[in-house]
Amino acid sequence: MLGCWLYHFLDEGTRGTGHDNHELKSEFYQKVIKSNVLIFVNYDVDAICSTRILQYLLKCDNIEYTLIPVYDKDELIKSYQTYKDTFENIILINCGGNIDIVETFQPDEETKFYILDNHRPLDIYNIYNESQVCFLNQLEEEAPLPKYEELFREDLDEVDDESDLTPEVLEKRREIREWINKRHELLFAYQQFSYHGTPSSMIMFDLAWKMSRDNNELLWCAIIGLTDLYFHSKLDFVSYMSEVSKLQPHVVRHNQRLENSEVTVNSLKISYEKELRLFLYRHWTLMESLRHSIYTKCQLRLWSVKGDKKLKELLAEIGVPLSQAKQRFTSMELTYRSNIKSWLEDISEKYNLSEMLFASFNSQFGYKINLNAVDHTIILSTLLETSLKGVRFDQRFWDALDALSHLNEGALRKGMKHAFKRMTAIFSQIQVILDRKLIVSAGPFLYTVIQEGTPDLQYFSFPISLALLAHFLLQIYVSRSASQKLNHLPLVLAAPFEDSDHLLVVGVPPIAEESFRNFFGKAFEQVAQQANCGLHQPFFDLCMVKLCKADKSRFFDALISLLS
């Protein structure tokens, strides 16, 4: 897994060559532990999982550190200005990789930045910064990374003298113009799509493993980080399964001895098994989970009366009474709880549910909490974006970090409560949009805008929830239609932001795009340059932007013109 690391403090002759984990440990970890460390962390689940693993490693060596969660680029810059004179070693987790660190921060020459970021593409100036920036990420082979000499040259100013227009100078100018045009083409090819690479938490877990400091708790963090990217449509199924195959041996290694042993009160056991594509069903009611899971929603067409009837027929065929399906799963009779997975698998072909089961991980903590990786991901992402009166903004981050531990049952229960409400709000909003036919076809893409005063609007004023709503909405909208054209149309979704002057806008790729490469980040950037509208890209996910409400019409007109 750690076969292609870039270390920018190495000399030019070794740039881009492979490095093993011994170098990762000696060049990164051994350097940062020599002094106090400043850690900036993005507000996402994978970043939280990576942070927990790094905290554990630093605690093992009694290393002091300062941890600061940052919501967007503006907050990252502001926080850096506050602490820049105190720290020389700065770690950035899922933030900073796609912005020019040196140009943005203007740091002292002694400052070193260690970036662990799953966002792609990485900023080209960071990649070729040899002295101050170190990436701990793998550079995927499919990234069309231009060579250094194709992007940088030192003779661009040598032919500026207008009085000396000799044939040699004219030829030099022509050659430079061609080089510049080629550079623009290479940069556009490299930057045109935003996507995600290997989960940062898996990279941190691999470091812990090679240092012989891994355990079940850290392994679960890596599993949650991977599941986060898959659940939020940042990683396709093939890539997900590839990463699952790397974690499975660790699950066997750490849990084989627990197979036949008695469960203790504070022991964590992880298993790899087939899991139902149902959200939170072990903690919700079976009926509510079936209604609020995207797979069953689309396959059973649960937005219609006919679909609702089909759902009840399914329950009747597997022998689950409505009275059982409508009560908490933990309160159902043991026979139903024990057999629901096999029963649903048996009738999956008849009800067009052939992919009802998928490979996943479950955790059992003593006799108390049984959590599937997807469920835990939903809980954590909900806590990150739950708005409560009297609760500081950064408190959401600390609540989610607490809920990552199975020991903190109170935080998990709190997250579950809000997760039920958030999933219900998402599917209710989808139903409203579809019933009122609010999705507009703009030719090259679909779009819709959530209006002020919409119930549960507080859930859609945050990036993670709005993106989740957009992906689910597009899947259901395509499933409702017989038109194959919709499979190839992306969706732009806008909702009122926390303040009253802006909209939060996200673009998601078409259903037919299985790789989840998103061109909206680059498209939004070009619209901001060409249309002179109040558009700002403050987030680390480039496909998410803030838009002045007054410029909404101008923005969509410019986007239609650009993509037509």
Among all chains, which residue has been given the structure tokens 């698998």? 345
Pair 441, 480: CB distance under 8 Å: no
Contacts of 58 (CB under 8 A, 6+ apart): 33, 37, 65
- Give the pLDDT of residue 515: 80
Stronger pLDDT, 131 or 217, i.e. the higher one: 217
Q: What is the dihedral of CA 23, 28, 33, 39, to 10 degrees?
A: -160
pLDDT for 454-475, tens place per residue? 888 888 989 999 999 999 999 9
Which pair of structure tokens corresponds to residue 413?
A: 């229960």
Buried b / exposed e over 303-313, threshold 16 CB at 10 Å, is beeebeebbee
Stronger pLDDT, 20 or 199, i.e. the higher one: 199
**Mean pLDDT of the 292-317 span:** 96
- Give the pLDDT of residue 9: 33
Largest distance between two CA atoms of the chain: 92
Mean residue pLDDT across the chain: 88
Beta bridge mates, 120: 195
pLDDT for 38-63, tens place per residue? 999 999 999 999 999 999 999 998 88
Q: State the Cα angle at 313 between 310 and 315, rounded to 5°.
A: 115
Q: Is the pLDDT of residue 10 over 70?
A: no
Stronger pLDDT, 19 or 249, i.e. the higher one: 249
Helices (DSSP H) in 155-215: which residue ranges?
167-191, 200-210
Spatial distance between the Cα atoms of 222 and 227, rounded to a whole number of angstroms: 9
- Give the pLDDT of residue 453: 86
Please state the pTM of the whole predicted model.
Answer: 0.92
pLDDT for 28-40, tens place per residue? 788 877 788 999 9
Q: Please, which pLDDT band fits residue 167 given cuts at 50, 70 and 90?
A: confident
Q: Please, which pLDDT band fits residue 202 given cuts at 50, 70 and 90?
A: very high
Percent of the chain with pLDDT over 90: 70
- Give the pLDDT of residue 530: 87
Spatial distance between the Cα atoms of 80 and 68, rounded to a whole number of angstroms: 10
pLDDT for 504-522, tens place per residue? 999 999 998 878 899 999 9
Spatial distance between the Cα atoms of 310 and 19, rounded to a whole number of angstroms: 55
By the 10 Å C-beta count (0-12 exposed, 13-18 middle, 19+ buried), 183 is classed as middle
Which pair of structure tokens corresponds to residue 344?
A: 């649903």
**Mean pLDDT of the 210-228 span:** 95
Q: Please, which pLDDT band fits residue 263 given cuts at 50, 70 and 90?
A: low
Q: Is the pLDDT of residue 21 over 60?
A: no
Spatial distance between the Cα atoms of 136 and 115, rounded to a whole number of angstroms: 6
Q: Please report, for residues 304, 457, 459, 470, the alpha-carbon distance to residue 291 in angstroms, rounded to integers and kept in the order given.
A: 11, 21, 19, 18
Among all chains, which residue has been given the structure tokens 């699952």? 244
Among all chains, which residue has been given the structure tokens 């290479």? 186
Pair 523, 188: CB distance under 8 Å: no
**Mean pLDDT of the 99-114 span:** 93
pLDDT for 534-561, tens place per residue? 899 999 999 999 999 999 999 999 999 9
Q: Please choose, from the candidates 145, 146, 116, 137, the residue with its C-alpha nearest in 3D space to the C-alpha of residue 48.
A: 116
Report for 282-286, 365-369, 452-456: range of highest mean pLDDT: 282-286
Spatial distance between the Cα atoms of 357 and 535, rounded to a whole number of angstroms: 42
Spatial distance between the Cα atoms of 185 and 172, rounded to a whole number of angstroms: 20
Q: Is the pLDDT of residue 284 over 70?
A: yes
Q: Which amino acid, 434?
A: L
Q: Is the pLDDT of residue 139 over 90?
A: no
pLDDT for 375-429, tens place per residue? 999 999 999 998 766 567 788 999 999 999 988 888 999 999 999 999 999 999 9
Q: Please choose, from the candidates 269, 265, 271, 275, the residue with its C-alpha nearest in 3D space to the C-alpha of residue 248.
A: 271
